Amino acid sequence: MTTETSYALSRPAYVGQAHLVVTDLALVSSFYQSMLGLKVIEKAPSGEVLGVNGLPLLTLATDGKAKVAPRNAAGLFHTAFLMPNRTELARWLRHAAHMDVVLDGASDHLVSEAIYLSDPEGNGIEIYADRPHEVWKFHQDGQVEMATIRLDLQALYDSAPDDAWGGMADGTAIGHIHLQVGDIPLADAFYRDVLGLKLMARYPGASFFATGGYHHHIAANIWNSRGAGTRADGMTGLSEYTLRFNDKVALDNAVAALDRLEIESAKRDGGVFLKDPWGIGLTLSA
């Protein structure tokens, strides 16, 4: 069965992978395998790469010197795993319920249906499915209508087909990454003005950025982290992530903006590596 590429991934740029630093590699990896159904693609004593059908999505790395990040540090709010369709979201919910998942919440965002949980080290996770792009409502300024209303988990659970769950379905991806930052105007200046993402929505204390009319590929909030400074090296949580460009022109424009603004960057793994204003690593690649 061929999987249609999710709308999020067909835009000019999208999130490729996330890289987390953890203290207990075996514990965290087994959670992402058993609870989320990711598979190990690469394995080394200091880290593992997990993904779906050979596609790497999540790198977990450990280091004896890793310092546990305080809750109010800049870094990860959640990594959001996008299911290829609502049926797969329902199947995951049924699997998770049988595993006695502890949920942090579940919301209907109009554009999507989302379930929230945390890994054993407190890294936030969202599991979601988008509603069809045709039913999203856009404002005249191009921003998208989003809300946070209670998701009917029972109805979603009841809609799951009654079959064995074999892990994350082909086509699952990181649909977006949600960051904790210290300051929203600074986040806007970096993600919108430097990298060229469009501001798609604002909540109190949060901005949502995307390319190509998606609801958001990257979000940034100050709900726990107002005033946070730069992350310390080796801190647990999100050390870096990748932004992949389907559109080489958009990538060239972003790299040109870095050079113009004298933002330090380096060529790495066929892409350009830099850090955002809070020291979160970011690789831009085509």
CATH architecture type of domain 7-284: Roll (3.10)
> Cα separation of 180 and 218, whole Å?
11
Contact yes or no for 107/114 (Cβ under 8 A): yes
> Cα separation of 3 and 185, whole Å?
38
Domain-wise residue ranges, the chain: 7-284
> Cα separation of 220 and 16, whole Å?
17
Q: Do strands 13-22 and 55-62 pair parallel, antiparallel, or not at all (unpaired)?
A: parallel
Structure tokens at 215: 């609801």
Sole residue written with tokens 């609801």: 215
> Cα separation of 35 and 97, whole Å?
10
> Cα separation of 228 and 183, whole Å?
8
Strand partners, 51: 39, 56
Phi–psi pair at 32, nearest 5 degrees:
-65, -30
Q: What is the DSSP letter of 8?
A: G
- What's the confidence (pLDDT) of residue 66? 86
Of the candidates 125, 123, 132, 138, the one whose C-alpha atom is nearest the C-alpha of residue 21 is: 123
> Cα separation of 94 and 27, whole Å?
22
Per-residue pLDDT of the chain (286 residues; tens, 9 = 90+): 456 789 999 999 999 999 999 999 999 999 999 999 999 999 998 999 999 999 999 999 998 888 999 999 999 999 999 999 999 999 999 999 999 999 999 999 999 999 999 999 999 999 999 999 999 999 999 999 999 999 999 999 999 999 889 999 999 999 999 999 999 999 999 999 999 999 999 999 999 999 999 999 999 999 999 999 999 988 999 999 999 999 899 999 999 999 999 999 999 988 999 999 999 999 999 9
With a CB cutoff of 8 Å and minimum separation 6, the contacts of 268 are 283
- What's the confidence (pLDDT) of residue 63? 83
- What's the confidence (pLDDT) of residue 1? 44
Alpha carbon separation from 39 to 14, 50, 84, 122, 134 (Å, rounded) = 22, 5, 17, 21, 33
> Cα separation of 52 and 206, whole Å?
30
